Amino acid sequence: MRKSWRDVLIFSAIAVSIPLVILLLVRFTPKPPSGEMERAREILSKAGTNKADTYSKKLFTEAKIFYDSAMVNWKKENNRFIYFRHYDKVVMFADLSAKKASLAADNSIASSSNLKIILKQKIDSLDVLVSQIDDLFTTYPLTSEIRNRISKGKVLLNEAEIIYDKGQYLQANRKLTDSEYLLTESYENASSNLKNYFKSYSVWKKWADKTVNESRKNRDYSIIIDKFSRKCFIYLEGVRKYEFEAELGKNWVGDKRERGDKATPEGMYKISQKFDGGKTKYYKALLLDYPNEEDRAKFRSEIEHGSLPVSAKIGGLIEIHGNGGKGIDWTEGCIALTDREMDVVFKIAKVGTPVTIIGSMVELKDIVDK
């Protein structure tokens, strides 16, 4: 059966219209915001890699909220009929997320860099403080509480330096803050005690000068014990001839007040007896004339004013003796030298040789500034 021209025209129109309709349908189908969402996701990931969640938390949180909002709106639009979908809000939130994430990443890098510099300065400062503490107080009798706080502060500083090198700056900052508090407070307390001790420097200097002058005048030997530097200085005719390391009583800071306080006395004394062989439990010993009249007067005054109990006894048997070289302060108040050094001192000393014991021959400011 032959088709009419009308049928041919209708068929042709349909054949031409179908591709056109398909083209129009494709043309007007809303385009999913895949590119915008992928871009936002990548920038968020980069910000996370730069630790924006740590160093730029507010911006990074806002970026995540905008990204989540974009995802919610995208899912909402996908539930609608395809030609009724509108992705404007999705694109807007994705763009906001990308911008916030980019700012968070840049801010994180800057903040991290600044914190790194600040922490390095703090570490260097605390390292200097630790050196000062070690120089001044390693052998200084501090309370066990202060000593423990210094030890804990050093441990925290060491831990902070380790995690700083790993780039964990916030954790390092927390440890440094705790370390700084412990070390600074301990240093201030110890320094206060030290400054109070050195208030007697003018007296020490007077004693030391007098001892050296007597050595020069008498053209003989004199001995000065410098407790802070832990030195035994031997002078001949006013000139320093020998210098030995000395070990003291466990509680050497300050003057000796009573028997059993483990303090090394301070004052101007003389050798009263010399012991060697079986006459002393040490290698050799030089007995000092402690307590002298000045020591007894101070002891009586403390009893009368109640700063010592009436049951207190004045100390004695203070010697320069051998068996030293232990590297710590261990005596009951005596001055200990190595046996070899004791041989030298024992040979040149005689009954009547001056022995002056002082806190320091150097002013505190010169010790701190050196």
**Residue 335, pLDDT score:** 97
**Residue 25, pLDDT score:** 42
Sequence-distant (6+) residues with CB within 8 A of 305 are: none
**Residue 160, pLDDT score:** 96
**Residue 296, pLDDT score:** 93
Mean pLDDT (10-residue bins), the chain, 370 residues = 55 54 50 87 86 85 91 87 81 90 83 85 94 91 92 96 91 94 95 93 96 96 96 96 96 89 95 91 95 93 90 92 94 96 96 97 86
**Residue 7, pLDDT score:** 59
**Residue 1, pLDDT score:** 44
Question: What is the phi-psi region of residue 327: left when phi exceeds 0, alpha when psi lies from -120 to 50, beta otherwise?
Answer: left
**Residue 130, pLDDT score:** 96
**Residue-level length of the chain:** 370
**Residue 13, pLDDT score:** 55
**Residue 278, pLDDT score:** 81
* Model pTM score: 0.70
Contact 150, 186 (CB under 8 A): yes
**Residue 21, pLDDT score:** 46
